[in-house]
Structure 1
Amino acid sequence: MQYARSLLFNFQMYLMLGLMGIAFFPLALASRDGAQWACKTYCRWVRWTAGWMVGLKTEVRGAVPQGEVLVAAKHQSFLDIIIIFSALPAAKFIMKRELLWAPVLGQYAARIGCVPVARGKRGAAIKKMVADVAAGMANPGQLVIYPQGTRVAPNRYLPYKVGSHVLYAELGQPCVPAATNVGVFWPRHGVLRKPGLAVVEFLEPIAPGQSRASFLNTLEEVVERRSQELMLEAGFADLPEENRHLTRL
């Protein structure tokens, strides 16, 4: 039964992505604010329908960042993007360049000021990313980066990449870490959506000025520790051995 409910939920979610994307496109063309409003409306729809269709509630914890800050977030599935975007006043994401060609999603991402990054050739990609971020500074907002570079399942570990520190150093802004447990309920692959409480939690900001090693160590420790605590709270016990020591049991 849960699988059938999940299938129906997924179908309507992607259907509404197309319908809302087309219906709100004149607003998105008219202004960036219009594009932001359209995207937030869709995010609210997904969170609302997830609650009653598959029993998956969502919650935002911690002080929601305001103004010009860098947000470095744990990424486990599409749902953490939905929650983060609906929570932040004016989010814009560092994203894979390939997503620009995705119907509806790519057009809106470009309109709200997301920064596409090409994979491979890390040095050139980082340099281009910094230049694109600098060019987009005229559009104020919260820049969101996923420091592990991709979605990471709850039972896997990937190291944190240098790109988040490059932006942190270049922008000279506080960095707000964000933890999550969404992958327990909404896996990176597959149809099934499990009932429960999916949480994104904004943590204490990291002040500007830390060295690369200090910043990356601090970021990884606080995000992984809190994410694992949230996953344990959700009943998930299959944590990766590589950083199980971070969890306070």
Structure 2
Amino acid sequence: MKAVQWIRSLIFVGQMYLAMAVLAVFFTPWMLVDRRGAFAGVHTYCRWVRWSARWMVGLRSEVRGEVPSGEVLVASKHQSFLDIIILVSVLPRPKFIMKRELMFAPILGQYALRIGCVPVNRGKRAQAIQKMVADVASGAQRPGQLIIYPQGTRVAPGADMPYKVGSAVLYRELGQTCVPAATNVGVFWPRKGIYRKPGLAVIEFLPPIPPGLEPQAFMARLKTEVETASDALMLEAGFDAPAARAGRKG
């Protein structure tokens, strides 16, 4: 049975990237003349992936909590490509801080810039943070939801990674409300590999954190809320994250 699921996963992944290419080309003329075309393209693609995952590999997806629609930071747990897909599928004006190299990717880089993504050089940490703040602040005339990953990378279920200071710097300098987001997607869709497990992948938007907290208090609250909610979602999916972390330490 696992072999059949692996084959279904392989077909799903193949069509997912084919759909990315087809839809990117289809929406490009609209995207080049109007930013609404870029958002239409990325929303259509992400909703297609969620829909096709449901019937091709039995992986359903669900969004819980109130979806933010204003000018906010969305600080999300990041476990795999699927949490990006789900977030972008429901946020009206999603944008990211991205590696500068992606600017030069054919078509993809143009879409990223058109929806308001902020390119930074991640090679120099302090300069990267300063540039994040300057670029995001200068783009304030383009309202949207800036998605940030406080741990800076994809983190496998049960792994323990620190929360980086860049999130607190953006929160303080931009003076925006932060909406934490928890997830369990890594239980079904790993960071690497083809195999996709059937089940229910969830993104949960948590109660907003208002602006004005001191960085240390903000980071402590953000980590506690995101990790606690993510652990609960993973346990719901049959994965005991605290036990897995204890096993790694042991």
Instruction: Output the TM-score relative to the length of structure 1.
Output: 0.94
Question: In percent, how many aligned pairs have the same letter?
Answer: 65
Whole-angstrom CA distance in 2 between matches of 1:175 and 1:189: 29
- Say which SS state the counterpart of residue 71 (structure 1) adopts: strand
Which stretches in structure 2 are left out of the alignment for 5+ residues? none
Instruction: Check if 1:88 corresponds to 2:102.
Output: no
Pick the aligned partner of 1:130 from 128, 133, 140. 133
- Displacement after TM superposition at 1:31 (Å): 1.0
Instruction: Specify the alignment match of 1:140 in structure 2.
Output: 143
Residue among 207, 210, 232 paired with 2:210: 207
Q: Supply the distance in 1 between the matched residues of 2:217 and 2:200 (Cα, whole angstroms).
A: 32
- Please, which of 41, 62, 66 is the counterpart of residue 63 of structure 1? 66
| Distance of 2:188 and 2:108 partners within structure 1 | 23
2:47 aligned residue (27, 44, 47): 44
Over 3 Å counting, the alpha-carbon distance change for 1:102 and 1:187 in structure 2 is farther
Change (3 A) 1:67 1:234: same
Unaligned runs of 5+ in 1: 245-249
Shift of 1:155: 2.1
Distance 1:173 1:9, change over 3 A: same
What RMSD in Å do the two structures reach over aligned CA positions? 1.5
CA-CA distance at 1:102 after TM superposition: 3.2
Amino acid at match of 2:38: A
TM-score (norm 2): 0.94
Structure 1 contact 157–243 (Cα < 8 Å) conserved: no
Describe the SS at the equivalent of 2:140. helix
Residue 33 of structure 1: aligned partner = 36
Among 49, 54, 57, the residue aligned to 2:57: 54
Task: Give the letter for the 1:171 counterpart.
Answer: L
Distance 1:35 1:187, change over 3 A: same
Mapped pair 1:112 → 2:125? no
Provide the residue aligned with 1:103 in structure 2. 106
The residue identity in structure 2 corresponding to 1:187 is: P
Instruction: Please point out which of 18, 25, 47 is paired with 1:22.
Output: 25
Match of 1:247 in 2: none
